[in-house]
Structure 1
Amino acid sequence: MTNAIVGIDLADRKQMVVVTDHDSKVLARRTFRVKAWDLGAALDWATERGARAGFTGVTVAAEPTGHRWRVLGQLADERGMALVCVQPAVCSWVRKTEDLTSDKTDDKDAVLIARLTAQLRCYLPEPVDETWARLRHFGTRREQLNGEHVACVQQVRDLLECVWPAALDAAEHPFKSTTWVAALTVVMDRDGGDLSRTRRLGPARFEHAVRREVTRRGKVRPCLRIVRRLFTALADPAGVIAHRPAAFERVAWVIDDWDHAKAKLADTQARMVTVLDELDLTALACSIDGLSAVGAAAILAETGDLNRFTSARAVVKHAGLAPRERKSGAFTGRAHVTGAGRPLLRAAAWRAVWGCLQTNRVYAARYRHLTGRETNRLTPTQAQTAVAAAILRQLHYVITHRQAWDPVVAAHGTKTLEVVAA
């Protein structure tokens, strides 16, 4: 109660600043037409106005949108001020409840931010730490490269389905096969849209060319079955022939982009594991059977230091994986996850499920129980969501308690996993 509250609505060149007491009475307001880095003068002005009203200090509040709140946080820290954040979604909901309209101005938003702070509907942001910051940026970079990787695969698939669909049938999972990609690269590099030109090489010379490409890609030898199937597909007439020259040229470009994306993705993931080693968390995180170092790093890149969460359930809520019930009187609706947290954290936890279900007996038993019980049976997707939430909860315990994952503890103290999963 000794601090005044400074609500700031951040923008590019116009910053609205209001100083209020704990009853949301505005003590002073002013518009500063400056960049975020020049808000130091605004904080000094707010401190002076708060002191006039009898407050010994100020608490700065803002919405954590874009990068400007980070700049504001550093300026506040240099002056010994506390910075708290108010969720933009909360501001949006409260703004509509005030007068049941979508009325919005910078002045009103700044006052609203201050009011929500006085009501303690705010939170302390993650402390600035160089190592954790690197992991967070690497995680964002990895997600971007994953998007590029998927986009390249979809482009190649779409183009081949149009001009040369037989190529996609040469392997069961073509885009996971180094041999198939190497053979396709050979065709694209020398063909120019005329498959008969490559076919004149003959099976032996084509196989030799594919072997060279497979070796260049870091593998020892190709799968001859796939090589022969793709060579046979050279004679298939299906496809829009007129589009082949241009489409093949584009496929060659996309394969080159795909190779670069995979190389950059591997480098980024290696850097993430290095940061995890610096934090001395690799052994702890990987003690969870089925959770790789990259998978754990991807999760921690989105959560930050798990010690800042008061409970494991808070991490699950942060990911938007907490269940949302619908009950009223005698009515009981279906429960759904909230989906209101960090989408990239939710995606990282979801991806970790696939590896854990293959090798982790506790999670596999829980999945079988959830999808096989007679009452309240879950769909496979719902059960995977429950396992994703369990991974987050147990990763929180492992890291905050500095204790390796124990399958008996994870199974609630019962050694018979099939019974415990219930």
Structure 2
Amino acid sequence: MKFKMQDKQNQLIERISDKHLVVGVDIAQQVHVARAVNYRGIVVGDPLSFENTEEGFARLLEWINRLKASTFDTAIVGMEPTGHYWTNLSTCLSEQNIDVVTVNPHLVKKNKENRDNTQSKSDKKDALVIADMVKNGYYSFIRPTSEAFEKLRVLMSNRDVIVKRLVSSINQINRWVDIVFPELRQVFKDVKGKGAIATLRLFPTPIELRSMEAQDIVKGWKTKMKRHAGLKKAQSLIELAKHSIGNHQAHDAYKLHLEQLLEEFDLATAQLERVEQEVTDVLKQTSFADKLLAIKGISEITLAGILGEAGDLSGFAHGNSLLRHGGLHLAEASSGKWKGQIVISKRGRSRLRRFMYLAAMSLIMNNPEFKELHTHNVQVKKMKKMKSVMKLIGKLARMLVAMARRNETYCPEKIQPLTSIAA
């Protein structure tokens, strides 16, 4: 059966009945604001400001129960997923068996003039706009995740921070080499390679190398590496140091700077290895990860990134739902005779988009079936390469969700284009 987004939208609207108290909460770091409406959008009760504490949450629950006592049987609470400030409130309400949903912050900004036809903005107005959006069906239910998927989300988020620090330290080491000893690259092409890093640790500046013998340099390399360069490279390094154009001033300051950069590089490298080992261990705890990893071209880190952001893939009704979750669904702007360009919406999780793209590119390079599909799209259907990649991302999303829901193994015959099957 073909998946239709309109069916889901209708279901979201139908869930809000005349017995629902619809609450909108404007999230902040310390003080939240709540407003309530009925299913027609009529304001119920007065606004409530409450702190991001246990006492504040108790005041909110008391306020909701007091408003429900009149004509409502149940309550639904909507909020913006603002940073990390909303998670504690969401957990507290869920433990009280209150439905908690989220609304898109971009849509809140777009809908702020619906109430009073003005561009004014305040916490109380934002809370009312959020409540209106919920009663109109513009909301998403929070997807509950198990312990393993929550671990993957935290670990992959942590990994992103570590990778940024590692890349930053490598860039700064490259800058240091450009200033102090640019000729080092004539001996070691990769500054972050073992040989270059060992040289920077032992004798980083040309001034030190000029007074050394080739044998002494090789002995130093032996203390840092099992496999190292020989006397020829050591002699070449000395000759280059004698004619270096690098900066000769502030020698001690540059050495201290490099020492700290190498410490940051070592720390980030060790932390990255530890996090990736943790990710590998957690993946073994998920039921269908081994089947997805059996697909040639899907790596552990890429799969962990997808599962960390999407959660349990078997909870998605269709692959298109996964695409919408990551903002990979198509958006069109057309009016009358004018036809706008069709683009991806990018209204979703950016990290999920990144890992889906990386997974598709890896499959195109390493997986025979996806490589054949990409070639068929480009050469036979005359698609642009990027359009073909985006189409294959959609196919990958549907394949991952289907395998997770049915607990199936990868079947190459289902991926091949129709022409090759017929042949």
TM superposition score normalised by structure 1: 0.86
Task: Report the 3-state secondary structure (helix = DSSP H, G, I; strand = E; otherwise coil) of the residue aligned with 1:22.
Answer: coil
Gaps of 5+ in 1: 216-220
Pairs within 5 Å for 1:186-335: 186-188=202-204, 193=205, 195-215=206-226, 221-224=227-230, 230-242=237-249, 244-328=251-335, 331-335=338-342
Of 39, 43, 65, which residue of structure 2 is paired with 1:47? 65
Q: Report the residue type matching 1:410 in the other structure.
A: I
Change (3 A) 1:178 1:44: same
- Residue 138 of structure 1 and its aligned partner are, at CA, apart by 0.5
Change (3 A) 1:126 1:255: same
- Residue 238 of structure 1 and its aligned partner are, at CA, apart by 1.9
Asked whether 1:156 is paired with 2:173, we answer yes
Q: Report the residue type matching 2:321 in the other structure.
A: A
The CA distance in 1 between the partners of 2:360 and 2:251, in whole Å, is: 40
The CA distance in 1 between the partners of 2:389 and 2:235, in whole Å, is: 39
The aligned counterpart of 1:218 is none
Moved more, 56-65 or 325-334: 325-334
The CA distance in 1 between the partners of 2:235 and 2:328, in whole Å, is: 47
Q: Report the residue type matching 1:155 in the other structure.
A: Q
- Residue 409 of structure 1 and its aligned partner are, at CA, apart by 1.2
Asked whether 1:182 is paired with 2:191, we answer no
The aligned counterpart of 2:102 is 85
Q: Report the residue type matching 1:137 in the other structure.
A: V
| Alignment check: 8 A CA contact 1:356 1:363 kept | yes
May I ask how many residue pairs the two structures share in their alignment? 404
- Residue 187 of structure 1 and its aligned partner are, at CA, apart by 2.2
Change (3 A) 1:11 1:409: same
Change (3 A) 1:242 1:335: farther
Deviations along 1:86-113, one digit per CA (max 9) or x if unpaired, are 1111111111555665411111111111
Of 402, 405, 416, which residue of structure 2 is paired with 1:400? 405
Deviations along 1:25-72, one digit per CA (max 9) or x if unpaired, are 1111232342243312212221221221x1112111111113332222
The aligned counterpart of 2:153 is 136
| Alignment check: 8 A CA contact 1:51 1:57 kept | no
| Alignment check: 8 A CA contact 2:31 2:49 kept | yes
The CA distance in 2 between the partners of 1:403 and 1:231, in whole Å, is: 61
| Alignment check: 8 A CA contact 2:115 2:129 kept | no
- Residue 414 of structure 1 and its aligned partner are, at CA, apart by 6.2
TM superposition score normalised by structure 2: 0.86
| Alignment check: 8 A CA contact 1:171 1:226 kept | no
| Alignment check: 8 A CA contact 2:20 2:73 kept | yes
- Residue 373 of structure 1 and its aligned partner are, at CA, apart by 5.4
Change (3 A) 1:373 1:207: farther
Asked whether 1:60 is paired with 2:77, we answer yes
Change (3 A) 1:371 1:209: farther
Task: Report the 3-state secondary structure (helix = DSSP H, G, I; strand = E; otherwise coil) of the residue aligned with 1:58.
Answer: strand
Q: Report the residue type matching 1:222 in the other structure.
A: H
Percent of aligned positions with the same letter in both sequences? 20
Change (3 A) 1:73 1:214: same
Change (3 A) 1:108 1:307: same
Task: Report the 3-state secondary structure (helix = DSSP H, G, I; strand = E; otherwise coil) of the residue aligned with 2:175.
Answer: helix
Deviations along 1:193-217, one digit per CA (max 9) or x if unpaired, are 4x232243322221221232124xx
Q: CA RMSD in A?
A: 2.7
The CA distance in 1 between the partners of 2:327 and 2:221, in whole Å, is: 46
Task: Report the 3-state secondary structure (helix = DSSP H, G, I; strand = E; otherwise coil) of the residue aligned with 1:60.
Answer: strand
- Residue 312 of structure 1 and its aligned partner are, at CA, apart by 0.9
The CA distance in 2 between the partners of 1:230 and 1:333, in whole Å, is: 59
The aligned counterpart of 2:21 is 4
Deviations along 1:171-198, one digit per CA (max 9) or x if unpaired, are 34433x322222232223xxxx4x2322
| Alignment check: 8 A CA contact 1:303 1:345 kept | yes
Moved more, 385-394 or 206-215: 385-394
The aligned counterpart of 2:111 is 94
Change (3 A) 1:398 1:26: same
The CA distance in 2 between the partners of 1:402 and 1:383, in whole Å, is: 28
The aligned counterpart of 2:32 is 15
The CA distance in 2 between the partners of 1:77 and 1:232, in whole Å, is: 70
The CA distance in 2 between the partners of 1:116 and 1:102, in whole Å, is: 17
Change (3 A) 1:98 1:275: same
Change (3 A) 1:80 1:328: closer
The CA distance in 2 between the partners of 1:117 and 1:231, in whole Å, is: 71
Change (3 A) 1:7 1:374: closer
Q: Report the residue type matching 2:199 in the other structure.
A: A
Moved more, 242-251 or 335-344: 242-251
Task: Report the 3-state secondary structure (helix = DSSP H, G, I; strand = E; otherwise coil) of the residue aligned with 1:84.
Answer: strand
The aligned counterpart of 1:359 is 366
